[in-house]
Amino acid sequence: MQDKVLIVTGALGALGTVVAELARSRGARVASIDHAPSQSPATPDRIEIGGVDLSDAIQAKTAVDAAAKHFGRVDALINIAGGFAFETVGDGDIKTWQRMYTLNVLTALNASRAALPHLAASKAGRIVNIGAMGALQAGSGMGPYAASKAGVHRLTEALANEWKGKVTVNAVLPSIIDTKANRTDMPKADFSTWVTPQELAEVILFLASDAASGVTGALIPVGGRV
């Protein structure tokens, strides 16, 4: 990660914070893009761009271009921005399906489209998306979320083929991520089977590294250990 320039979307959330901090600890320069307001001033190795609605293509491009201007280039895009909803198909609201598509698919699509010209100019352009293991086989109440994350999987594969030889595009498919919010929502769950943000961050940063130059179009499950 030394001297790499990374854009992390959803960077002020539980996973995004860990990924950004781990990347900086290994010498990367990080642009953190989030819907939440910026919390820190810009420095030579970091910039926070807050208040961004990545479901809006113009806002996504403006934020990505600002990051590229600050650092002079972009080497990797980590698409973490997204959302979750638990709702059955029969009893749910169609607006939930629309919201999941907007938060999970459109944010990744718009950020990727904005970043691709910058990534193609890098000697090692990378995109890493966040899919979901639960999108491989949706359980009860997981329809809207799983369908949107399946869209992220297909977006990953399409981009990987379209940009082969120029930019690698992969996705990690976590099981349930071990966060404070998830523990609060599911207090009776077996937390030992969940993947920690730190474990997931390690896989994400590997896929963003030079060592992963031969990996593209991969959907990599992470977690669910026994």
Q: Which residues are catalytic?
A: 145
Closest alpha carbon to 187 in 178, 195, 196: 178
Give residue for tokens 């130059």. 213
Give CA–CA dist 19/159, Å, rounded.
Answer: 23
Tally of CB atoms within 10 A around 93: 11
Start-to-end C-alpha separation, the chain:
31
Torsion on CA atoms 162, 163, 164, 170, rounded to nearest 10: -100
Closest alpha carbon to 201 in 176, 172, 158, 164: 172
Find all residues with CB under 8 Å of 145, minimum gap 6, and list them.
Answer: 84, 85, 86, 100, 104, 132, 134, 135
Dihedrals φ, ψ of 182, to 5°? Answer: -70, -35
Give CA–CA dist 40/152, Å, rounded.
Answer: 30
Q: What does the buried/exposed string (b/e) look like for 148-158 if buried means 16 or more CB atoms within 10 Å of the residue's CB?
A: bbbbbbebbbe
Which residues of the chain form beta strands (DSSP E)?
A: 5-9, 29-33, 46-49, 76-79, 125-130, 167-174, 219-222
